[in-house]
Chains A and B, each alone.
Chain A
């Protein structure tokens, strides 16, 4: 039980709570968005013909949508990584805060 207390101590720090909040605020909407965007292509392709029109020279809407998936992947990836690299500070802070909590409690 002693060991579990240490984990709970980290969990209770404001830095850790902030970390979880920041992660949820980005990861949940980003995941919902990219899943809908991703499955939009096969759904439209499998059940409709709206993607079969030419929009840019010989390029069909299907290809434009497909290339947009590449752009989306790279953009979301970089948005995530730039945030995640900042979250690392919160990890360090939660460690320090938990340690201060140990000092104060004893």
Chain B
């Protein structure tokens, strides 16, 4: 238990104000500041590392493999490892389910298509080195950066292999490698906390302890998309405030995400561009 009953009650009352008074003087739609670095793993097609000021840290590696399209059920494979949690725990399984479901329904698989027979399959490996609040949006933002900077080797062999068998061959020069697509903006997850009639973006661990409910909303191409679900964000705690929510809040959350998420995407894009220009090799 992180908070005493008195602290809990104080925080609950502050957060239920209109507008809410959040610890750290954040406004309701404000994310915690984060630092990130992309393309630093030499053996991966894409990589990203993201760090929050509370010490949460997550690292993503995207690797690719050429597969016969027909032999696989999906072209994206997600694996998540959270320090301190078993891989088969409910916590990790649900993170993995959510991220897989988001990417599989929304990832444009034509980017991965090589020829009529072959495709790239992407393996996205996430390591959450440390986290305090629910790490889904952290993982998803890092995945955004990693996918955005993922470069796949340039195909030099013939694209049309319908009549003649052709094994795909690739250019040796890594400088020729291509991004998935310049305009491609991968889907992301946003976690929202519900307290009274307030919706709080990116709740911190202290806020999670007093929330009445939590929402997970996904966002892609300037629109809120699915999956949308609710969740008890305070894991392994007996949060006595947890209760149902008014269905109007769901609509409100969609409108809020439609309003503020483009700014998040913009910030992440700026980050990748700045990372491209800067030649500093050190991470953080």
Binding between chains A and B: no
